[in-house]
Every structure is written in C-alpha cells, then in structure tokens.
C-alpha cells in the first residue's frame, strides 16, 4: 500500500464538521466520495483533526492509502477539485512513509478566531459579528494565565471521549486589527472537543468586564465545563496550520 497526504482547505458553513455523520454531510464524506469517484475504488481518509460543524480550515491535512502509486500532476488535482464542491479545495497530494499519520504525526495545530463589531455582507458566516466593545489588553492578560496551565477540562465538552485533558499551549493572544476587528490566535499540540470556542466565549466575558482574572483562573482550576462561559459560534473559527516533523513533509514515499 502507498500512503498519501492531502493538503486542503474548506469553508465549513454547509457541513456537519469534518467527521462522517449519520445525520448530515461532512467534509470527510465529501472528500472520500470525490477520491472514490476519481480513482475508481473505495477510498477512506483520516484527517489531522475533527473540526466542528460550521468551522473552517485554511489548512487541513488528511491521508489515504492505495495499492498502486497515483498520478500527482496538476491535472489530477484539478480534476478532483472539479468533482468537489466550490467550498472545498485540494492544494497538494504527496506520498509519505507508511508510518506517517495525518493525526498522530502532527506536532501542533494553530487556530484563529475572527471577531468584528461591524456587519459585513461579504463576511457572512465567516466571522463573528459581536457588537460590544472589548478590552483586548485584559483579554491578553487572561491568555498569559492560560499558558501557565495544561489541564483544560473546564473548556472541553462534557461528552469528550479522551483519556486526559492536558494540552501544551505554545502561544495564545488577541490581535487588534483596527477599531472594529479582533483576531484570536492559539497554537497547541492538541485541542479538546470544543476547547477553542469555549475559551473564546469565556475571554469575551472578560473583555466586556463581566468576569475578572481571578474568576477566570478559578474556572481553569475547577476542571468543570459548567464553570466556563458559553462557546463562541463556530463561524468565526479557522484551523489555519497543522505542523509536522520535517521528515513527513519531504514528499518521499
């Protein structure tokens, strides 16, 4: 068997997340259908992570296996993109070693969350229209506090099927783009189910002055999802980068 990585991006608005669902269309199912149609055999893909319903990806990776090497030409990728809907785009397909795994070989994931005070007809479904003024400086103080901890059970959905709630956050901060727009940045080795959106929702409470830093720290220490704020909507969240060791990205079989 020959294993290939796919680099792709997608607008998640019309999909019930990455993972195949019994009750809705997913990115995974749509991608598998296109590959199966083009290659003439059933194809199963494994993603680097499971983005939630409505979440977007500027960069996502997945892998699949076939018995014989495939054509990696631009025309092959173009033909796949013609099969796929307009809101999913394949950028690269390249061979990797048999032990390279889209999910387990990844060493970090980087997300951004976009907030805007102004309604924009061209950004509908792509940013969170949030009218209140926000103090991004105090929100960044809370971000510094986040980096002091590794257990984020308070920011994980209660039904998360995981062995532990520990994550290594590499960086997290808010960037003020202009008077109306803010972007949240966070990178970690792994993320829990719903973690980024719940962190954002809680930080928005701090930015409005409805929660102080001491209360925020108590939420982290509580290890209880009920202690944190509500999750921010999915439409403002983007997976923007997935990192792998250099040997994975050398494009060698």
The gap from C-alpha 159 to its chain's centroid, in whole angstroms, comes to 19
Task: Name which of 23, 239, 53, 243 is nearest 157 in CA terms.
Answer: 53
Task: Name which of 190, 186, 189, 212 is nearest 199 in CA terms.
Answer: 186
Whether 108 has a binding-site annotation, put simply, is no
Strands, E assignment, 87-168: 88-96, 108-116, 128-129
* The token pair that represents 35 in the structure block: 């590959």
The C-alpha atoms of residue 98 and residue 120 are separated, in whole angstroms, by: 45
Neighbours of 26 (CB within 10 A): 20
Strands, E assignment, 41-120: 46-47, 56-66, 88-96, 108-116
Active site residue 181: no
β-sheet bridge partners, residue 90: 8
**Catalytic one among 52, 87, 179, 181?**
52
Give the catalytic positions in this structure.
Answer: 52
Q: Which residues are annotated as a binding site for substrate?
A: 111
Q: Which residues are annotated as a binding site?
A: 111
């Amino acid at each position: 068997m020959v294993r290939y990585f796919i680099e792709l991006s997608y607008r998640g608005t019309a999909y019930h997340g990455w993972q195949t669902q019994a009750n809705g269309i997913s990115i995974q199912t749509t991608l598998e259908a296109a590959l199966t149609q083009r290659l003439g055999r059933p194809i199963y893909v494994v993603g680097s992570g499971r983005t939630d319903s409505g979440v977007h990806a500027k960069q996502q990776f997945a892998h699949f296996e076939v018995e014989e090497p495939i054509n990696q030409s631009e025309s092959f990728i173009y033909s796949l993109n013609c099969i796929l809907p307009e809101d999913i785009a394949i950028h690269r397909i390249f061979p990797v070693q048999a032990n390279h795994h889209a999910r387990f070989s990844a060493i970090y994931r980087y997300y951004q969350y976009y907030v805007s005070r102004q309604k924009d007809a061209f950004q509908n479904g792509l940013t969170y229209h949030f009218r209140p003024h926000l103090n991004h400086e105090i929100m960044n103080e809370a971000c510094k506090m986040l980096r002091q901890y590794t257990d984020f059970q308070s920011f994980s959905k209660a039904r998360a099927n995981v062995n532990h709630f520990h994550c290594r956050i590499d960086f997290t901060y808010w960037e003020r783009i202009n008077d109306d727009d803010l972007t949240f940045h966070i990178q970690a080795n792994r993320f829990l189910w719903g973690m980024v959106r719940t962190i954002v929702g809680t930080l928005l409470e701090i930015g409005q002055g409805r929660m102080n830093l001491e209360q925020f720290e108590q939420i982290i220490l509580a290890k209880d999802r009920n202690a944190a704020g509500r999750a921010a909507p999915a439409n403002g969240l983007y997976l923007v980068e997935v990192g792998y060791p250099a040997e994975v990205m050398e494009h060698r079989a």
